Amino acid sequence: MNLQLALLEKAALENRLAHLLLFHGGSALHQREVALRLAKLLNCSQSMSKRPCGECYACHKISSGNHPDMLCLKPLKTTIGIEQILAWQQKVYLKHYEGKYKVSVIEQADSLTLPAANALLKVIEEPPERTVIILCAQNAEGILPTIKSRAQLVYFPILSEETWLTGLGEVDQREAATAFRLSGGNQNLATSIFGHGVPLLQEWVNKFRTAVDEKDFLKLYSLFPIDKNQAVLYLQVLAVQVQEEIHKGTCRPFEFLAIGKATDLLRQQVNPRLVIEVLASELFQQGGALCD
Ligand SMILES: [Zn+2]
């Protein structure tokens, strides 16, 4: 563990953690893990030397996402809006249910809308007692300066492939390594690919590429049904492949832009089948073959 995280844990154990933390850099998964660990350190019922025990009522409830004093927020669609912050604000000002500390984790905090960020700022300026708010973001630059200036910044270094693999625990290392390669070194994406299942994903992506290469609608139709999350994941992997092929000079930027546009549409809740079909027909028109 790096020194900064060790100091953070020590502060949590000694009940002198800053009331606003801003996690930035590294992987969202790692940020989340550290946030949960801090929540357990603050709320675990064991004596200081045994915290977090991982076994008491508080530790269990935090791990399973059911602790009433642990509030987690993330974008419902692409942003965290004012309604989400106002609903959260009400819960923050309620008295503590059972925990010693109320811990709020706001994931993808760089996706707060401006009104939402201003509402959050009000809470930060007058925080209820024994409250810790943890903002998680890839990039601290995306946070409103008036919020950032009040936070203790905690930087998460980028993990190496080896550290990522070790963090997964006892899993099929070959499959995990393939997931990492398919992600182009993006650990969040690698984790999603691995969670989804590498063979299933590879099969779909290869079939899609064949359907486009051969301009074959029948092959395209065999790719459905898929749900939105699958479609976003598959398109992300396609985008990584195409990007690598553009670097090698075997692919044109058009394909990459078309995939990016399709991903945006999916995030706007457009039907996944429609998005994939439109993408394929655009690629058909560009002369088939996704890349040479
Ligand atoms: Zn415990």
- Percent of all residues in the chain with a pLDDT value above 70, rounded to a whole number: 98
Mean pLDDT along residues 277-284: 91
CA–CA gap between residue 155 and residue 151 (Å, rounded): 12
Candidates 207, 208, 158; CA nearest to 183 is 158
C-alpha of residue 16 to centroid of ligand 1, in Å: 19
Q: For residue 224, report the phi and psi dihedrals to the nearest 5 degrees.
A: -110, 160
CA–CA gap between residue 146 and residue 260 (Å, rounded): 32
User: Quick one: pLDDT at residue 264?
Assistant: 84
Q: Residue 111: pLDDT above 90?
A: yes
Pair 233, 196: CB distance under 8 Å: yes
Can you read off the two tokens belonging to residue 178?
């393939």
C-alpha of residue 223 to centroid of ligand 1, in Å: 46
C-alpha of residue 163 to centroid of ligand 1, in Å: 26
Cis before 145? omega within 30: no
**Helix or strand holding residue 192 (H, E):** helix 187-196
pLDDT, tens digit (0-9, with 9 covering 90-100), for 28-42: 878 988 999 999 999
User: Quick one: pLDDT at residue 289?
Assistant: 60
C-alpha of residue 61 to centroid of ligand 1, in Å: 10
C-alpha of residue 52 to centroid of ligand 1, in Å: 5
Mean pLDDT along residues 81-89: 96
C-alpha of residue 35 to centroid of ligand 1, in Å: 15
User: 158 falls in which pLDDT band (50, 70, 90)?
Assistant: confident
pLDDT, tens digit (0-9, with 9 covering 90-100), for 225-266: 999 999 999 999 999 998 888 888 777 788 888 998 898 888
Which range among 134-138, 141-145, 208-212, 248-252 shows the weakest confidence by mean pLDDT?
A: 248-252
Question: Among positive and negative, which fits the CA dihedral 31, 75, 143, 231?
Answer: positive
User: 1 falls in which pLDDT band (50, 70, 90)?
Assistant: low
